[in-house]
Amino acid sequence: MDNINFSKEELERYSRHLIIPEFNIEGQRKLKAAKVLVVGTGGLGSPLLLYLTAAGVGNIGILDFDRVDETNLQRQVLFTVDDVGRPKVEAAKERLEKLNPHVNFTTYDVQLTSANALEIIKDYDVVADGTDNFPTRYLVNDACVILGKPNVYASIFRFEGQVSVFNHQFKDGTFGPHYRDLFPTPPPPGLVPSCAEGGVIGVLPGIVGSLQANEVIKVISGVGEPLAGRLFLFDALTFETRTLKLHKDPNTPKIEKLIDYEQFCGIGGDAKEEKKVKEISVQELYDMQVKGEDYQLIDVREPYEYEIANLGGELIPLKMVTSNIDKISSSKKVVVHCRSGARSAQAIEALKRKYGFDNLYNLKGGILAWADEIDQEMAKY
């Protein structure tokens, strides 16, 4: 670590770190020498990347295969309106280099998969998981366990957030609990909606992502006690916090190789089931409208979503579908839609299974596809 030197500009930049007795120049040297991979540049990744860059983490990997969308700007403060449509990693690197020219950035405009995770993660000291889906969380966790890397985890939903440090190696060489010790198996598909489906208050990822960045800095510098063996819970509505103790579960299977995480989380199976659901494209629905065909359109989203944008269909929220069969025609084609096509597929499956409907068609891609392909002026959310 003695070979890590600072320029006059760096010493001035990090002076507020250097005067902290517990941190001082040794802590800053550890930050500069460190390699941190941030998986996801969204709501959590934005504050994570901003604060790790500002703090002087010397080498930061940025992994995301998404593009900046207008709906991101409500919480993903790393981006501006000028970035809409750009690869997130490209826009992120450009912004962060302006924040701190003394940091080296490596970008990965790819989806993290079982085929590339070990190869990418092996070169980093710490991984910070800012993702929003279960398959990637399990993938990041398992890759970190196999490679012996700490996984600084956070997640957010609506008004609630949680933070922990998984697979942390203690001074005696033992490793703390990891994600599978907390969640041995994923929830059933569709039970826990994503932020895109369930929403998130815009400031929450800023709060939780900053806490996550703090844990990364603690892990790197060795200053303080990281959230290893603990899960921090935050409720922005009530401003209540809790810290739960976590323990390694002796029944957790040993992780020796990466698997098919889509299938593990039931998504692969769902995809096969969804093939049994008849679908139409947004272009086909548009053609039906132009031709004046007789059909029924049902929207299974929530009322607040309907107010933002709708196709004029009859609103029957998903949880109320099976109790409103009297409103659903059995004699003509019925097109069911939601935001992206997932909830409407669930509605069709439930109606088929319980009442034998065979005239239901899922609108592929939902209202998002309609906004992309048919009506670009329609609000996307």
- Provide the residue ranges of all domains of the chain, joining segments of one domain with +: 34-270, 276-373
Distances (CA, A) of 152 to 201, 214, 352, 355: 22, 10, 43, 46
195 is catalytic: yes
Quick one: fold of 276-373?
A: Oxidized Rhodanese; domain 1 (3.40.250)
Instruction: Check if the beta carbon of residue 7 is closer than 8 Å to that of residue 120.
Output: no
Pick left, alpha or beta for residue 175 (phi over 0 → left; psi -120 to 50 → alpha; otherwise beta). beta
Count the residues in the chain.
381
Which of 68, 220, 246, 338 is catalytic? The answer is 338
Global pTM reads: 0.76
Instruction: Check if the beta carbon of residue 232 is closer than 8 Å to that of residue 164.
Output: yes
> Cα angle at 130 between 237 and 6, to 5 degrees?
110
Tens of pLDDT, residue by residue, the chain (381 residues):
668 999 999 999 999 999 999 999 999 999 999 999 999 999 999 999 999 999 999 999 999 999 999 989 999 999 999 999 999 999 999 999 999 999 999 999 999 999 999 999 999 999 999 998 899 999 999 999 999 999 999 999 899 999 999 999 999 999 999 999 998 888 766 556 666 666 789 999 999 999 999 999 999 999 999 999 999 999 999 999 999 999 999 989 899 999 988 888 876 544 444 447 899 999 999 999 999 999 999 999 988 889 888 999 999 999 899 999 999 998 999 999 999 898 899 899 889 888 889 899 999 999 999 998 999 888 665
Do 34-270 and 276-373 have matching folds? no
Q: Locate the DSSP E strands across the chain.
A: 35-39, 59-63, 104-108, 126-129, 151-157, 160-166, 230-235, 240-245, 279-280, 295-299, 314-315, 333-337, 360-363
How many angstroms separate the first and last alpha carbons of the chain? 47
Beta-carbon contacts of 362 under 8 Å, excluding residues fewer than 6 positions away, are 274, 277, 278, 279, 280, 335, 336, 337, 341, 344, 345, 348
The pLDDT score that the predictor gives to residue 353 is 85
The pLDDT score that the predictor gives to residue 3 is 84
- List residues bridging with 234 in a β-sheet: 161, 241
Which of 57, 195, 208, 217 is catalytic? The answer is 195
CA distance 91 to 14: 25
Nearest to 316 by CA among 334, 298, 331: 298
Report residue 72: phi and psi, to 5°: -70, -30
CA distance 21 to 8: 20
Amino acid identity of 250? P
Quick one: fold of 34-270?
A: Rossmann fold (3.40.50)
CA distance 224 to 68: 36
Beta-carbon contacts of 216 under 8 Å, excluding residues fewer than 6 positions away, are 36, 48, 52, 57, 126, 128, 152
